[in-house]
Amino acid sequence: MIRYVGQEFFGQQVVANLDTDISDTSDHVVLRITTEGMDIDVMADALNQNSLSTKDSMLSNPSHNPAKSLLAVDTFSRAFPFHIIFNRDLEIIQAGRVVLRGLVAYKQQHGRLLLSDMFDIVRPRVECDFTAFIDHTHAVFVAASKPDVFDFGGRARRASATPEEGGAEVETLRLKGQMIYMEENDCMAFLCSPRVRSLEELAQHGLHLSDIPCHDKTRAMVLMSHERRGERSLMNRLEEASISLQVLHAKLNQEKERTVEVLMEILPSNIVASLLENKSVDAEQYDMVSILYSDVMGFTALCANPLVRPIDVVHMCDKMYSYFDTLAVTNNIYKARTLD
Q: Do 21 and 137 sit in the same domain of this protein?
A: no
Look at residues 62, 78, 98 and tell me which one is the last residue of a structural domain.
62
Residue 88 is predicted with a pLDDT of 92
Contact 82, 193 (CB under 8 A): yes
Residue 191 is predicted with a pLDDT of 92
Q: What is the DSSP string of 23-59?
A: -SS-SS-EEEEEETTEEHHHHHHHHHHHS---TT-TT
Residue 63 is predicted with a pLDDT of 60
Residue 65 is predicted with a pLDDT of 65
Q: Do 200 and 292 sit in the same domain of this protein?
A: no
pLDDT lower than 70: segments of the chain = 8-11, 19-27, 35-68, 154-171, 336-340
Contact 263, 273 (CB under 8 A): no
Q: Do 78 and 94 sit in the same domain of this protein?
A: yes
Say how many domains are in the chain: 4
Between vectors from CA 31 to CA 28 and to CA 35, what angle results, nearest 5°? 160
Phi-psi region of 91 (alpha: psi -120 to 50; beta: other; left: phi over 0): beta
Q: Do 114 and 124 sit in the same domain of this protein?
A: yes
Return d(Cα 192, Cα 172) in angstroms, integer: 15
Return d(Cα 335, Cα 337) in angstroms, integer: 6
Residue 238 is predicted with a pLDDT of 83
Residue 176 is predicted with a pLDDT of 92
Q: Do 70 and 168 sit in the same domain of this protein?
A: yes
Per-residue pLDDT of 276-307, as tens digits, reads 888 888 887 878 878 777 788 888 888 888 88
Q: Do 100 and 121 sit in the same domain of this protein?
A: yes
How far, in Å, are 51, 70, 241, 296 from residue 63 at the CA level? 16, 11, 66, 120
Letter string b/e over residues 23-52, b meaning 16 or more CB atoms within 10 A of that residue's CB: eeeeeeeeeebbeeeeeeeeeeeeeeeeee
Residue 152 is predicted with a pLDDT of 81
Domain that holds residue 246: 232-284
Look at residues 24, 46, 62 and tell me which one is the last residue of a structural domain.
62
Return d(Cα 332, Cα 316) in angstroms, integer: 25
Determine, yes or no, domain membership for 226: no
Look at residues 188, 215, 242 and tell me which one is the last residue of a structural domain.
215
Integer-rounded Cα radius of gyration of the chain: 43
Determine, yes or no, domain membership for 225: no
* Element (DSSP H or E) covering residue 177: strand 174-182
Q: Do 204 and 80 sit in the same domain of this protein?
A: yes
Q: Do 183 and 77 sit in the same domain of this protein?
A: yes
Q: Do 144 and 15 sit in the same domain of this protein?
A: no
